[in-house]
Chains A and B, each alone.
Chain A
Amino acid sequence: MKCKKVIKKLAIFLDGQAGEKDNEAISNHLKTCQCCGQEVKELTSLSFLLKQEKESVQASPYFWNKIEQAIIQAETNRNVLDTIWEWVNRTLIPVGATAVVVLGLFVGTNLGSVIYTNIAQILNQDNSSLAQQEINQSLNLNTLNDFPQESIGEIYTGLLAESNLPEQR
Protein backbone atom coordinates (compact mmCIF):
# COMPACT_ATOMS: atom_id res chain seq x y z
CA MET A 1 0.00 0.00 0.00
CA LYS A 2 1.32 3.48 -0.91
CA CYS A 3 1.65 6.39 1.57
CA LYS A 4 -1.19 8.39 -0.01
CA LYS A 5 -3.65 5.53 0.45
CA VAL A 6 -2.34 4.69 3.93
CA ILE A 7 -2.81 8.30 5.09
CA LYS A 8 -6.40 8.30 3.83
CA LYS A 9 -7.08 5.04 5.68
CA LEU A 10 -5.30 6.00 8.90
CA ALA A 11 -8.37 7.47 10.63
CA ILE A 12 -10.43 4.31 10.16
CA PHE A 13 -7.37 2.20 11.07
CA LEU A 14 -6.81 4.09 14.33
CA ASP A 15 -10.53 3.84 15.13
CA GLY A 16 -10.14 0.07 14.83
CA GLN A 17 -12.77 -0.17 12.11
CA ALA A 18 -10.64 -0.98 9.07
CA GLY A 19 -11.09 -4.36 7.39
CA GLU A 20 -8.70 -7.24 8.09
CA LYS A 21 -6.82 -6.78 4.79
CA ASP A 22 -6.39 -3.02 5.26
CA ASN A 23 -5.34 -3.53 8.87
CA GLU A 24 -2.55 -5.88 7.87
CA ALA A 25 -1.38 -3.74 4.94
CA ILE A 26 -1.34 -0.54 7.02
CA SER A 27 0.44 -2.22 9.94
CA ASN A 28 3.14 -3.54 7.61
CA HIS A 29 3.51 -0.15 5.95
CA LEU A 30 3.85 1.66 9.28
CA LYS A 31 6.71 -0.62 10.32
CA THR A 32 8.89 0.90 7.61
CA CYS A 33 7.46 4.37 6.80
CA GLN A 34 8.51 7.18 9.14
CA CYS A 35 6.39 9.76 7.33
CA CYS A 36 3.17 7.80 7.93
CA GLY A 37 4.37 7.07 11.47
CA GLN A 38 4.46 10.84 12.07
CA GLU A 39 0.91 11.11 10.69
CA VAL A 40 -0.21 8.45 13.18
CA LYS A 41 1.32 10.48 16.02
CA GLU A 42 -0.47 13.61 14.88
CA LEU A 43 -3.83 11.89 14.51
CA THR A 44 -3.49 10.21 17.91
CA SER A 45 -2.58 13.56 19.41
CA LEU A 46 -5.59 15.19 17.73
CA SER A 47 -7.97 12.52 19.07
CA PHE A 48 -6.48 12.98 22.53
CA LEU A 49 -6.86 16.75 22.22
CA LEU A 50 -10.49 16.55 21.08
CA LYS A 51 -11.30 14.35 24.06
CA GLN A 52 -10.02 17.16 26.30
CA GLU A 53 -13.11 19.17 25.40
CA LYS A 54 -15.11 18.02 28.36
CA GLU A 55 -17.72 20.73 28.61
CA SER A 56 -21.09 19.11 29.02
CA VAL A 57 -24.62 20.35 29.42
CA GLN A 58 -27.02 18.83 31.92
CA ALA A 59 -30.74 18.55 31.31
CA SER A 60 -32.81 20.93 33.42
CA PRO A 61 -35.02 19.35 36.14
CA TYR A 62 -38.13 20.07 34.07
CA PHE A 63 -36.78 18.50 30.91
CA TRP A 64 -39.21 15.55 30.88
CA ASN A 65 -42.17 17.69 32.05
CA LYS A 66 -41.78 19.95 29.03
CA ILE A 67 -41.63 16.97 26.68
CA GLU A 68 -44.70 15.43 28.31
CA GLN A 69 -46.63 18.69 27.97
CA ALA A 70 -45.64 18.91 24.31
CA ILE A 71 -46.75 15.28 23.78
CA ILE A 72 -50.14 15.93 25.41
CA GLN A 73 -50.58 19.09 23.32
CA ALA A 74 -49.62 17.28 20.11
CA GLU A 75 -51.95 14.36 20.89
CA THR A 76 -54.82 16.75 21.67
CA ASN A 77 -54.24 18.54 18.36
CA ARG A 78 -54.04 15.21 16.62
CA ASN A 79 -57.31 14.10 18.26
CA VAL A 80 -59.06 17.30 17.19
CA LEU A 81 -57.82 16.81 13.63
CA ASP A 82 -58.88 13.15 13.72
CA THR A 83 -62.36 14.14 14.98
CA ILE A 84 -62.73 16.76 12.25
CA TRP A 85 -61.59 14.28 9.61
CA GLU A 86 -63.95 11.62 10.92
CA TRP A 87 -66.84 14.12 10.87
CA VAL A 88 -65.94 15.12 7.30
CA ASN A 89 -65.87 11.46 6.27
CA ARG A 90 -69.10 10.53 8.01
CA THR A 91 -71.20 13.63 7.36
CA LEU A 92 -69.79 16.07 4.90
CA ILE A 93 -68.98 13.64 2.08
CA PRO A 94 -72.45 11.91 1.96
CA VAL A 95 -74.20 15.28 2.37
CA GLY A 96 -72.06 16.80 -0.35
CA ALA A 97 -72.67 13.90 -2.72
CA THR A 98 -76.44 14.10 -2.11
CA ALA A 99 -76.37 17.85 -2.69
CA VAL A 100 -74.55 17.37 -6.01
CA VAL A 101 -77.17 14.80 -7.15
CA VAL A 102 -80.09 17.03 -6.07
CA LEU A 103 -78.52 20.04 -7.78
CA GLY A 104 -77.98 17.98 -10.94
CA LEU A 105 -81.63 16.89 -10.98
CA PHE A 106 -82.84 20.43 -10.36
CA VAL A 107 -80.67 21.97 -13.09
CA GLY A 108 -81.54 19.15 -15.53
CA THR A 109 -85.28 19.46 -14.92
CA ASN A 110 -85.26 23.25 -15.27
CA LEU A 111 -83.09 23.20 -18.36
CA GLY A 112 -85.37 20.57 -19.98
CA SER A 113 -88.54 22.50 -19.22
CA VAL A 114 -87.01 25.69 -20.68
CA ILE A 115 -86.04 23.91 -23.91
CA TYR A 116 -89.42 22.21 -24.30
CA THR A 117 -91.29 25.45 -23.54
CA ASN A 118 -89.30 27.22 -26.28
CA ILE A 119 -90.01 24.45 -28.77
CA ALA A 120 -93.73 24.45 -27.92
CA GLN A 121 -93.84 28.21 -28.40
CA ILE A 122 -92.15 27.91 -31.78
CA LEU A 123 -94.48 25.10 -32.88
CA ASN A 124 -97.51 27.18 -31.94
CA GLN A 125 -96.47 29.84 -34.43
CA ASP A 126 -97.99 29.64 -37.95
CA ASN A 127 -94.72 29.82 -39.81
CA SER A 128 -93.92 26.09 -39.92
CA SER A 129 -90.68 26.38 -41.93
CA LEU A 130 -89.31 28.83 -39.36
CA ALA A 131 -90.40 26.43 -36.63
CA GLN A 132 -88.65 23.59 -38.41
CA GLN A 133 -85.43 25.63 -38.62
CA GLU A 134 -85.61 26.50 -34.91
CA ILE A 135 -86.13 22.85 -34.00
CA ASN A 136 -83.28 21.81 -36.23
CA GLN A 137 -81.01 24.41 -34.63
CA SER A 138 -81.99 23.70 -31.03
CA LEU A 139 -81.70 19.91 -31.43
CA ASN A 140 -78.66 20.25 -33.72
CA LEU A 141 -80.39 18.35 -36.53
CA ASN A 142 -78.61 20.34 -39.28
CA THR A 143 -75.88 17.73 -39.24
CA LEU A 144 -78.38 15.30 -40.83
CA ASN A 145 -78.81 17.56 -43.88
CA ASP A 146 -76.03 15.74 -45.73
CA PHE A 147 -78.12 12.59 -45.94
CA PRO A 148 -79.75 12.02 -49.36
CA GLN A 149 -83.49 12.60 -49.58
CA GLU A 150 -84.23 9.47 -51.75
CA SER A 151 -85.22 6.02 -50.49
CA ILE A 152 -82.56 3.29 -50.08
CA GLY A 153 -83.86 1.48 -53.19
CA GLU A 154 -83.53 4.61 -55.32
CA ILE A 155 -80.00 5.25 -54.05
CA TYR A 156 -79.01 1.65 -54.88
CA THR A 157 -80.44 1.93 -58.40
CA GLY A 158 -78.65 5.23 -58.89
CA LEU A 159 -75.33 3.80 -57.78
CA LEU A 160 -75.76 0.79 -60.13
CA ALA A 161 -76.58 3.08 -63.04
CA GLU A 162 -73.43 5.17 -62.34
CA SER A 163 -71.20 2.09 -62.20
CA ASN A 164 -72.64 0.79 -65.56
CA LEU A 165 -72.05 4.04 -67.43
CA PRO A 166 -68.47 3.38 -68.67
CA GLU A 167 -69.47 -0.09 -70.01
CA GLN A 168 -72.33 1.42 -72.00
CA ARG A 169 -69.89 3.82 -73.65
Chain B
Amino acid sequence: MDERELISKSKQGDRPAFRQLVEKYQDSVINMSYRFLRNKEEAEEAAQEVFLKVYLSRNTYQHQTKFSTWLFKIAVNYCLNKLRDRKKFPFSRLEEDLPAPAEFQPDKLLEQENLNRAIRKAIDSLPDQQRTVILLNQFEEFSYQEMARMLDCSLSAIESRLFRAKENLKRILAPFIKKDEI
Protein backbone atom coordinates (compact mmCIF):
# COMPACT_ATOMS: atom_id res chain seq x y z
CA MET B 1 0.00 0.00 0.00
CA ASP B 2 1.51 3.39 -0.95
CA GLU B 3 1.60 6.41 1.32
CA ARG B 4 -1.30 8.18 -0.38
CA GLU B 5 -3.52 5.17 0.11
CA LEU B 6 -2.45 4.84 3.75
CA ILE B 7 -3.33 8.50 4.34
CA SER B 8 -6.73 8.12 2.67
CA LYS B 9 -7.52 5.06 4.77
CA SER B 10 -6.28 6.80 7.92
CA LYS B 11 -8.60 9.69 7.14
CA GLN B 12 -11.49 7.24 7.23
CA GLY B 13 -10.38 6.11 10.69
CA ASP B 14 -8.52 2.97 9.59
CA ARG B 15 -6.12 2.47 12.52
CA PRO B 16 -3.96 -0.32 10.99
CA ALA B 17 -3.27 2.00 8.03
CA PHE B 18 -2.32 4.79 10.41
CA ARG B 19 -0.07 2.38 12.29
CA GLN B 20 1.86 1.75 9.08
CA LEU B 21 2.33 5.50 8.65
CA VAL B 22 3.52 5.79 12.24
CA GLU B 23 5.98 2.95 11.78
CA LYS B 24 7.34 4.59 8.65
CA TYR B 25 8.06 7.92 10.33
CA GLN B 26 8.42 7.14 14.05
CA ASP B 27 12.23 7.02 14.11
CA SER B 28 12.61 10.28 12.17
CA VAL B 29 10.13 12.09 14.43
CA ILE B 30 11.67 10.68 17.64
CA ASN B 31 15.19 11.59 16.51
CA MET B 32 14.21 15.08 15.49
CA SER B 33 12.40 15.58 18.80
CA TYR B 34 15.48 14.26 20.59
CA ARG B 35 17.67 16.78 18.77
CA PHE B 36 15.37 19.53 20.04
CA LEU B 37 14.71 18.27 23.56
CA ARG B 38 17.87 16.26 24.31
CA ASN B 39 16.02 13.79 26.46
CA LYS B 40 15.11 10.33 25.20
CA GLU B 41 11.93 9.82 27.25
CA GLU B 42 10.69 13.29 26.47
CA ALA B 43 11.49 12.81 22.79
CA GLU B 44 9.44 9.61 22.64
CA GLU B 45 6.54 11.22 24.49
CA ALA B 46 6.73 14.19 22.15
CA ALA B 47 6.63 11.88 19.12
CA GLN B 48 3.58 10.08 20.54
CA GLU B 49 1.83 13.38 21.14
CA VAL B 50 2.67 14.45 17.59
CA PHE B 51 1.22 11.27 16.07
CA LEU B 52 -1.88 11.64 18.23
CA LYS B 53 -2.31 15.22 16.98
CA VAL B 54 -1.78 14.03 13.42
CA TYR B 55 -4.48 11.36 13.83
CA LEU B 56 -6.98 13.70 15.44
CA SER B 57 -6.48 16.40 12.80
CA ARG B 58 -6.05 14.00 9.87
CA ASN B 59 -9.06 15.43 8.06
CA THR B 60 -7.37 18.84 7.76
CA TYR B 61 -4.44 17.34 5.80
CA GLN B 62 -4.47 18.20 2.11
CA HIS B 63 -2.77 16.02 -0.46
CA GLN B 64 -1.08 18.99 -2.19
CA THR B 65 1.41 19.12 0.70
CA LYS B 66 3.84 16.26 1.27
CA PHE B 67 2.76 14.21 4.27
CA SER B 68 6.26 14.38 5.78
CA THR B 69 6.23 18.19 5.53
CA TRP B 70 2.87 18.35 7.34
CA LEU B 71 3.98 15.82 9.95
CA PHE B 72 7.27 17.60 10.66
CA LYS B 73 5.52 20.97 10.81
CA ILE B 74 3.41 19.62 13.68
CA ALA B 75 6.48 18.02 15.28
CA VAL B 76 8.62 21.18 15.02
CA ASN B 77 5.85 23.34 16.51
CA TYR B 78 5.37 20.86 19.33
CA CYS B 79 9.09 20.80 20.16
CA LEU B 80 9.44 24.59 19.96
CA ASN B 81 6.49 24.96 22.35
CA LYS B 82 8.15 22.48 24.71
CA LEU B 83 11.36 24.50 24.59
CA ARG B 84 9.39 27.70 25.28
CA ASP B 85 7.79 26.01 28.30
CA ARG B 86 11.23 25.01 29.53
CA LYS B 87 12.37 28.62 29.35
CA LYS B 88 9.32 29.66 31.38
CA PHE B 89 9.87 26.90 33.95
CA PRO B 90 13.62 26.25 33.95
CA PHE B 91 13.47 23.81 36.88
CA SER B 92 11.23 21.43 34.96
CA ARG B 93 14.02 20.87 32.45
CA LEU B 94 14.85 17.19 32.04
CA GLU B 95 17.65 17.68 29.56
CA GLU B 96 20.42 15.13 29.83
CA ASP B 97 23.54 16.63 31.27
CA LEU B 98 26.12 17.51 28.64
CA PRO B 99 29.64 18.61 29.51
CA ALA B 100 30.74 22.15 28.70
CA PRO B 101 33.12 22.55 25.73
CA ALA B 102 35.99 23.34 28.13
CA GLU B 103 35.81 19.79 29.45
CA PHE B 104 36.95 18.29 26.17
CA GLN B 105 40.49 17.05 26.30
CA PRO B 106 42.63 17.53 23.14
CA ASP B 107 43.63 13.87 23.09
CA LYS B 108 40.00 12.81 23.06
CA LEU B 109 38.85 15.14 20.33
CA LEU B 110 38.67 12.40 17.77
CA GLU B 111 36.57 10.14 19.91
CA GLN B 112 33.13 9.81 18.46
CA GLU B 113 31.30 10.42 21.71
CA ASN B 114 33.15 13.62 22.46
CA LEU B 115 32.64 14.79 18.93
CA ASN B 116 28.92 14.02 19.18
CA ARG B 117 28.71 16.00 22.40
CA ALA B 118 30.55 18.96 20.93
CA ILE B 119 28.24 19.01 17.91
CA ARG B 120 25.14 18.68 20.08
CA LYS B 121 26.33 21.45 22.36
CA ALA B 122 27.03 23.70 19.38
CA ILE B 123 23.60 23.06 17.86
CA ASP B 124 21.89 23.56 21.20
CA SER B 125 23.55 26.93 21.63
CA LEU B 126 21.91 28.27 18.45
CA PRO B 127 18.77 30.44 18.66
CA ASP B 128 15.58 28.41 18.08
CA GLN B 129 15.02 29.62 14.50
CA GLN B 130 18.56 28.77 13.39
CA ARG B 131 18.54 25.48 15.26
CA THR B 132 15.29 24.46 13.58
CA VAL B 133 16.59 25.04 10.04
CA ILE B 134 19.90 23.30 10.77
CA LEU B 135 18.12 20.24 12.15
CA LEU B 136 15.68 20.08 9.25
CA ASN B 137 18.37 20.72 6.64
CA GLN B 138 21.29 18.69 7.94
CA PHE B 139 19.57 15.77 9.62
CA GLU B 140 16.19 15.41 7.93
CA GLU B 141 17.38 16.74 4.55
CA PHE B 142 14.30 18.80 3.79
CA SER B 143 14.53 21.14 0.82
CA TYR B 144 14.50 24.90 1.31
CA GLN B 145 11.01 25.04 -0.23
CA GLU B 146 9.70 22.42 2.20
CA MET B 147 11.27 24.19 5.17
CA ALA B 148 9.71 27.49 4.08
CA ARG B 149 6.29 25.83 3.87
CA MET B 150 6.80 24.06 7.18
CA LEU B 151 7.89 27.16 9.08
CA ASP B 152 5.49 29.57 7.32
CA CYS B 153 8.22 31.89 6.09
CA SER B 154 9.85 32.97 2.83
CA LEU B 155 12.61 31.15 1.00
CA SER B 156 14.98 34.05 1.60
CA ALA B 157 14.25 33.87 5.34
CA ILE B 158 15.26 30.19 5.32
CA GLU B 159 18.42 31.04 3.35
CA SER B 160 19.31 33.77 5.79
CA ARG B 161 18.63 31.65 8.91
CA LEU B 162 20.70 28.79 7.49
CA PHE B 163 23.53 31.15 6.58
CA ARG B 164 23.62 32.61 10.10
CA ALA B 165 23.33 29.14 11.68
CA LYS B 166 26.26 27.83 9.65
CA GLU B 167 28.36 30.91 10.43
CA ASN B 168 27.70 30.38 14.14
CA LEU B 169 28.45 26.66 13.96
CA LYS B 170 31.67 27.34 12.05
CA ARG B 171 32.73 29.69 14.82
CA ILE B 172 31.79 27.34 17.67
CA LEU B 173 33.18 24.21 16.03
CA ALA B 174 36.29 25.92 14.62
CA PRO B 175 38.81 23.55 16.26
CA PHE B 176 37.04 20.53 14.78
CA ILE B 177 36.68 22.08 11.38
CA LYS B 178 40.39 22.86 11.19
CA LYS B 179 41.19 19.24 12.05
CA ASP B 180 38.95 17.93 9.29
CA GLU B 181 39.76 20.61 6.79
CA ILE B 182 40.29 19.37 3.27
A positions within 8 Å CB-CB of B = 8-9, 11-12, 15, 17, 41-60, 63-64, 66-68, 70-71, 74
Contacts and interface: CB of A to CB of B under 8 A. Distances in A.
A42 B143 CA distance: 21
Given A45-B181, A63-B26, A66-B48, A57 B40 contact: yes
Interface of B: 15, 19, 22-23, 26-27, 30-31, 34, 40, 43-44, 47-48, 51-52, 55-56, 112, 115-116, 119-120, 123, 134, 137-139, 143-145, 159-160, 162-163, 166, 169-170, 173, 176-177, 180-182
B164 to A, nearest CB: 10
Given A8-B163, A11-B162, A68-B15, A56 B44 contact: no
User: Which among A9, A17, A57, A70 has the highest number of chain B CB atoms within 10 Å?
Assistant: A57
Given A15-B144, A50-B138, A59 B27 contact: yes
Nearest to B165: A11
A47 B120 CA distance: 14
Is chain A's interface secondary structure helix, strand, loop, or mixed overall?
A: helix
A63 B49 CA distance: 11
A17 B142 CA distance: 11
The 7 closest A-B pairs by CB, nearest first: A53-B119, A59-B26, A57-B34, A70-B52, A50-B138, A45-B177, A45-B180
A42 to B, nearest CB: 6
Contacts of B170: 42-43, 46
Contacts of B144: 12, 15, 17
A64 B138 CA distance: 27
Contacts of B44: 57, 59-60, 63
A52 B47 CA distance: 24
Nearest to A41: B182
A42 B181 contact: yes
A67 B30 CA distance: 13
Given A12-B159, A56-B27, A70 B48 contact: yes
